[in-house]
Amino acid sequence: MATNFYPPGAVNGRLHGFEFTFESTPDKTSLHDSFLEPDPDPQEGETDSLPDSVECFPRHFGRTYHAYQAGSYVFPNDAAEQERLDLQSLALTELFNGRLHFAPINEKSTPKRILDVGTGTGAWAMDMGDSYPEARIIGVDLSPIQSNAVPPNVHFYIEDASQEWAWPDPFDYIHTRVLLGSFGDFKTEVIQQSFDALRPGGWLESQDFNVEAISDDGTLLPDSSLARWVYDMNHASELIGRPLARAHLLRQWYEEIGFVDVHERVFKIPLNGWAKHPRHKHVGKLWEQNFLDGLSGFSLALFTQVLERKRAEVELSLPYPEEVAAAGPSEDSMAE
């Protein structure tokens, strides 16, 4: 069964493929006549120094996918997906009543270094840059899809966060949001590495949800196309070792790694506008649009390459917008 649905990327590291030639060695006396200003973050390079191949996105199913470490993330990265990611970020900020974080990172002192793992379009990182102008905000992702118009204290880097981290200085706060399906071992690759990369007293916060649809009144039938889609998504992601259902394990993993003062908040996200409360109704409508905009991109690679279905079969099996809109009191659940 083919699980790596596009060819391996040409770039497997920052310097892969580069040839270095040293023409001469400077005279020792000249070293006293020159001054090189030390870089305060020597390991934190610039994204525009990466090879052009990083931005040569492979195209499948009429969508583009990331080139760096190709195949390790099965969802698109094109303009349509970027718009959806921004919509998703807005929906979650609305769900949290405008809060960008719940960790008390500013109670005793202003954070100096903040890391956003899997930053996507960088929307959250840029909002944090505006909220904490004295902090250095670093966002990392596999795809260079972030805006160039960013606050001066926000910096984006192309990194595979599943590999060993090499940040030269510790962070005050590390943040992850909706990384389901992005890691084979979230506990080790993200939580453990975050624990090691935080200064004493630093905070890690993960905002994620399980791919599940829950109906409060029982109107979501188990044989509906929506329920079948949820099952297929979870099944396919498990087969390739990139599970979607892990939000319910986050607190346990945090504590097992060694974090203390661990808090968990669980939110219901209406799947459409059924909720009576105005804010929940608004969030539900945003989430419905987010879900429908992403439905094809979520499904095509997993269902064709992992479940070995034809593209036409996949598209015909997806939940209809009318079914999602009429789902009644159903919701996703999110753990923070």
Can you give the pLDDT at residue 220? 84
CA distances from 247 to 142, 160, 173, 332 (A): 22, 21, 20, 11
Give the pLDDT band of residue 27 (cuts 50, 70, 90): very low
Give the pLDDT band of residue 228 (cuts 50, 70, 90): very high
Q: In whole angstroms, what is the distance from residue 100 CA to residue 92 CA?
A: 9
- For the chain, give the mean pLDDT: 82
255: phi then psi, degrees, rounded to nearest 5:
-70, -35
Q: Return the ∠ at Cα 250 (arms to 247 and 251), rounded to 5°.
A: 130
Q: For the residues 47-69, what does the mean pLDDT come to?
A: 69
Give the pLDDT band of residue 21 (cuts 50, 70, 90): very low
Q: Which amino acid is at 320?
A: Y
Give the pLDDT band of residue 263 (cuts 50, 70, 90): very high
| Percentage above 90 pLDDT, the chain | 61
Can you give the pLDDT at residue 65? 85
pLDDT tens-digit readout, 74-121: 888 899 999 999 999 999 999 999 999 999 998 778 899 999 999 999
| Percentage above 70 pLDDT, the chain | 77
Q: Which amino acid is at 5?
A: F
Q: What is the chain's alpha carbon radius of gyration, rounded to the nearest angstrom?
A: 22
Give the pLDDT band of residue 331 (cuts 50, 70, 90): low
Cα torsion at 181, 187, 193, 195 (round to 10°)? 130
Q: Please give the model's pTM, rounded to 2 decimal places.
A: 0.81
158: phi then psi, degrees, rounded to nearest 5:
-85, 110
Q: For the residues 221-229, what does the mean pLDDT come to?
A: 90
Domains contained in the chain, CATH given? 42-335 (3.40.50.150)
Cα torsion at 91, 94, 95, 96 (round to 10°)? 130
Cβ–Cβ < 8 Å for 273, 281:
yes
Which residue shows structure tokens 């003062």? 261
Residue 119 contacts by C-beta under 8 Å, 6 or more apart in sequence? 125, 139, 140, 141, 146, 156
Can you give the pLDDT at residue 73? 77
Cβ–Cβ < 8 Å for 320, 225:
yes
Give the pLDDT band of residue 56 (cuts 50, 70, 90): confident
Q: For the residues 199-219, what does the mean pLDDT come to?
A: 91
Cα of first residue to Cα of last residue in the chain, in angstroms, is 35
Q: Beta strand 136-141 with 113-117: parallel, antiparallel or unpaired?
A: parallel
- 109: exposed, middle or buried (C-beta count within 10 Å: 0-12, 13-18, 19+)? exposed
Give the pLDDT band of residue 126 (cuts 50, 70, 90): very high
86 against 56, higher pLDDT: 86
Residue from 237, 151, 146 nearest 186 by CA: 237
